[in-house]
């Protein structure tokens, strides 16, 4: 019966002018599945139209809506899920709307988080909005450098710029805002000039916390952008350098960002002569969590025989596929403290799936090591489970060894 002319008693002309599709349907089936269609066909103000125009719904989304109402089957695709959510909301089909939101949550990542934030606010989906904020906060630089960020509307830009927990330097926020303004100029048919960028930004520019940049960052970036007026540029320079600071329109206080959490998997650490060595071999451990979080880096043990610098490669894998890695250095002070080593960007880690994290160090061989390792650790709202990794060739396992800390945001 779905999308079938047989016994059809109503037709819909769906889509904007020039892109319409004629869809046959059956009033009773639609009325049973949607109170909106019920009122349209059988309510007190029902009209006897045999052809109904729906210019604000995409044909593909409307067909997904009808197929669900006829068969309870839901077939969602990334290209049409937002349009389908709109149709489900418009015709009050909550089960389909919920399926759309679930689909969006599972496909949410930094490159589409800002667009989905805009849509979740439009559709009044608070759970999806919260998930978008989790991604934007933890992976701010990836989110604001994405093409999707340049597609959002002005109100969404403003609410993002008001966010206290954006986890990036303000100079990068400013660069992203200029990219957004340039994209808006192009969409409006304007030449991309500092004056036009300033015009499309309006008061949103004053949500960028320019005084929280370093003097060098401001001088190399915002001061030379020509988006600020000469007076604003002069006043910011004076704010940085003068005893009597001028009043600025820009917020003065640096964003709080996110505070990293640390999961420590050992109950004690130790050092014994010739007991443990970094020898360029791989220390590795597997872990799983009971809720989504963002892996930011590792806490590692350093030298047990005084200050030492290490070169280190850290890596995060899922089912053998590398999700992130970083080559860097850190300096240990000879204590049994852990020393943080960061991935370039935090990595989203899904619940109930084992990941493998590894570290290969080159430097002073003798080091501290962990003892009395735990298979399960509760850290804030997140429960970690640990198991040994076949990638570990230097002796690290659940009970002892290296990689004492996982550093994350949640």
60-109 per-position pLDDT tens digit? 999 999 999 999 999 999 889 999 999 999 999 999 999 999 999 989 99
The model's confidence at residue 276, banded by pLDDT at 50, 70 and 90, is low
The model's confidence at residue 243, banded by pLDDT at 50, 70 and 90, is very high
Lowest mean pLDDT, pick from 14-18, 46-50, 71-75, 117-121: 46-50
Output the pLDDT for position 358.
97
Q: Which residues contact 35 (CB under 8 A, 6 or more apart)?
A: 92
Q: Alpha-carbon distance 130 to 119, whole Å? A: 12
Question: Within 13 Å and on the Cβ side, how many CA atoms surround 409?
Answer: 22
Output the pLDDT for position 298.
97
Read off the pLDDT of residues 182-210 as tens digits, 9 standing for 90 and up.
999 999 999 999 999 999 999 999 999 99
The mean pLDDT value for 168-194 works out to 97
Q: Is the pLDDT of residue 227 over 90?
A: yes
Q: Is the pLDDT of residue 14 over 80?
A: yes
Q: What percentage of the chain reaches a pLDDT higher than 90?
A: 85
Q: Is the pLDDT of residue 272 over 70?
A: no
Q: Alpha-carbon distance 346 to 342, whole Å? A: 8
298: buried, middle or exposed (CB in 10 Å: 19+, 13-18, 0-12)? Answer: buried
- Set out the domains of the chain in order of their start, with CATH numbers: 10-107 (3.30.710.10), 114-241 (1.25.40), 261-409 (2.60.120.820)
User: Where does 19-139 show beta strands of DSSP type E?
Assistant: 21-25, 51-54
pTM comes to 0.85
């Amino acid at each position: 019966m779905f999308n079938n002319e047989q016994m059809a008693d109503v037709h819909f002309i769906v889509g904007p002018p020039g892109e319409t599709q004629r869809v046959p349907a059956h009033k009773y089936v639609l009325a049973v599945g949607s109170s909106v269609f019920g009122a349209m066909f059988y309510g007190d103000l029902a009209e006897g139209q045999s052809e109904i125009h729906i210019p604000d719904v995409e044909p593909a989304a409307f067909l997904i809506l009808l197929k669900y109402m006829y068969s309870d089957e839901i077939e969602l695709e990334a290209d049409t899920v937002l349009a389908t959510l709109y149709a489900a909301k418009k015709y009050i089909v909550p089960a389909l709307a919920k399926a759309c939101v679930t689909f969006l949550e599972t496909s949410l990542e930094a490159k589409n988080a800002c667009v989905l934030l805009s849509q979740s606010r439009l559709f009044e989906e608070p759970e999806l909005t919260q998930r978008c904020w989790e991604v934007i906060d933890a992976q701010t630089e990836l989110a604001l450098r994405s093409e999707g960020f340049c597609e959002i509307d002005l109100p969404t830009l403003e609410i993002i710029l008001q966010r206290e927990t954006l986890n990036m330097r303000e100079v990068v926020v400013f660069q992203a805002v200029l990219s957004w303004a340039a994209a808006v100029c192009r969409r409006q048919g304007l030449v991309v000039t500092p004056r036009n960028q300033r015009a499309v930004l309006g008061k949103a520019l004053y949500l960028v916390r320019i005084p929280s940049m370093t003097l060098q960052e401001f001088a190399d970036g915002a001061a030379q952008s020509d988006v600020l007026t000469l007076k604003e540029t002069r006043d910011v320079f004076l704010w940085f350098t003068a005893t009597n600071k001028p009043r600025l329109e820009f917020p003065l206080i640096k964003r709080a960002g996110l505070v990293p959490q640390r999961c420590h998997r050992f109950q004690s650490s130790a050092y014994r002569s010739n007991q443990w060595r970094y020898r360029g071999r791989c220390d590795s451990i597997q872990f799983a969590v009971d809720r989504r979080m963002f892996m930011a880096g590792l806490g590692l043990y350093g030298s047990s025989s005084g200050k030492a610098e290490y070169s280190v490669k850290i890596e995060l894998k899922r089912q053998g596929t590398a999700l992130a890695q970083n080559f860097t250095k850190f300096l240990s002070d000879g204590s049994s403290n852990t020393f943080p080593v960061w991935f370039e960007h935090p990595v989203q880690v899904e619940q109930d799936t084992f990941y493998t994290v590894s570290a290969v160090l080159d430097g002073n061989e003798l080091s501290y090591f962990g003892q009395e390792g735990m298979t399960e650790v509760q850290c804030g709202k997140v429960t970690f489970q640990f198991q040994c990794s076949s990638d570990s060739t230097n002796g690290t396992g659940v009970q002892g060894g290296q990689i004492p800390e996982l550093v994350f945001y949640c």
